[in-house]
Amino acid sequence: MWGETMSGPDIMSPEYEKNPNPFLHEMLEEHPIYFHEGLGHWIISRHADVELALKSPVFTTKNYAWQLEPVHGKTILQVEGSDHRRMRAIINPALRGEDLRTKFVPVIDRCSQELIDTWSGDGQVDFVKAYTERFPVNVITEMLGLDQKDEPIFYNWYKSIIAFFSNISGDEEIAAQGIRTRDELAEYMYPIIEERRANPGDDLLSTIVHADIGGEKMDDYEIKCFVSFVLVAAAETTDKSMANMFLQLIQHPEQMQAVREDRSLIRAAFAETLRHTPPVLMVMREPDEDVEFQGVKIPAGSTVTAMCAAANRDPRVFKDPDDFNIFRTDLNVEKAFGGGANHMTFALGRHFCVGSILAMYEVERGTNQLLDAMEDIEFTSGEPPQEIGNFVRSPITMPINFTPTGKSSISNASISVGALPSE
């Protein structure tokens, strides 16, 4: 079958957004590949097919030219070959290497605890609004060496860029706000970039400003694009994954208690959340050549949407895939935050999520502090909040009640800095 259009589950429907899981199962078993007329995308869902699309050099990230470039500019997501490797080399030490462990872990600890201390004595809080949305944004702004008083501004820009990225329905106001954010971020960053050229510091922005890429340094526009990208790459996974992880742990009190008693299980809980309740449900790619899946041929230049959320629930790979189980043995926790992961949430291949290790440390260390500060955590309403989104998905609000412990661990001396996981 050559480019034959076939119907399948409507991933843009209100019913899908309310509960995508039945739709994911229908894809896996009845429509492993089909053409979505409304989006103009080919949809693939099975684990083996999604893995191939994410790893194969035939599949490019040219889709980001329309999906992200209008608001970000051209970033590491769109470059290939030696340029891609050199750009990764600039950022990897801060987001994935020893600089993260030695220089930026104290920043993570402090940003988390400062937020917790504002509400930990109250016995109630909107966990999303007061913590998960703000924590990673505060971390990355401080890693970049930007003024802490401007963290609320960066929070609003982060929300705007995420909305633009997720706007596959083409909402005009969301698109317009993304463009305004692009311009506002540029106006803010250009004077700071100039200052860091003259007076470099020990921060990530100074590293980027003075980085040598093939004998050349990035210009102001390229650096601004890089900052915009890093803001989202370093914040989105932590924000929504922490909300989704606590959403699941509160509903599974026996697993919450296990994590509370053995903090080494936090990584397993995070990895299982990435599989079971991922913050990003799908990833787009564009093949440079004609490709074939499940006997269906897709023309070069088509947009292929890899349904990572479906692949993560493929019963061919995961036993009882709908169960949230931090003790499952078919999920490779050791490799869950590197390129050898067997869940699809961070993508795979050369464009594997550059912020995954930073997210792991933020989730691990933030959760330690949260569990130290709160006991008897429950949903205020008695019911779990609704997850929102058909592309990027998590609760947008999560009121919880808890028993304050009176503990504050801003030094976090009791929390060891774990080893970097296997790639």
pLDDT (tens digit, 9 = 90+) per residue, 353-411? Answer: 777 888 899 999 999 999 999 999 999 999 999 999 998 899 999 999 999 998 876 54
Query: What DSSP state is assigned to residue 392?
Result: B
Q: Is 423 a domain residue?
A: no
Q: Where residue 148 sits, what CATH number does that domain have?
A: 1.10.630.10
Cβ atoms of 267 and 157 closer than 8 Å: no
The set of residues, in sequence order, having a beta carbon less than 8 Å from that of 221 and lying 6+ positions away, is 73, 186
Looking at residue 411, what is its pLDDT?
46
pTM of the model: 0.90
pLDDT tens for 245-256 read 999 999 999 999
Confidence of residue 64 (pLDDT cuts 50, 70, 90): confident
Q: Is residue 81 part of a domain?
A: yes
3-state class (DSSP) for residue 115? helix
Tell me what pLDDT residue 78 has. Answer: 62
CB atoms within 10 A of CB 290: 14
What is the predicted pLDDT for the residue at 2? 37
Per residue in 298-316, pLDDT tens? 999 999 999 999 999 999 9
- Whether the pLDDT of residue 193 is over 80: the answer is yes
Query: 412 pLDDT band (50/70/90 cuts)?
Result: very low
Residue-averaged pLDDT of the chain: 87
Q: Binning pLDDT at 50, 70 and 90, where does residue 212 land?
A: confident
State the chain's maximal CA–CA distance in angstroms.
64
Instruction: Please compute the mean of the pLDDT values over residues 59-68 and round it to a whole number.
Output: 77
Radius of gyration of the chain (CA): 21
pLDDT of residue 413: 42
How many structural domains are present in the chain? 1
Tell me the residue range of the domain where 50 lies: 14-404
The torsion of the CA quartet 118, 122, 124, 126, rounded to 10 degrees, works out to -20
Q: Which amino acid is at 398?
A: M
Task: Give the model confidence (pLDDT) of 110-151 as tens digits.
Answer: 999 999 999 999 999 999 999 999 999 999 999 999 998 888
Report if residue 296 sits inside a domain: yes
In-domain check, residue 141: yes
Residue 298 lies in a domain: yes
**Band (352; pLDDT cuts 50, 70, 90):** low
Whole-angstrom distance, CA of residue 252 vs CA of residue 245: 10
Q: Which residues contact 106 (CB under 8 A, 6 or more apart)?
A: none
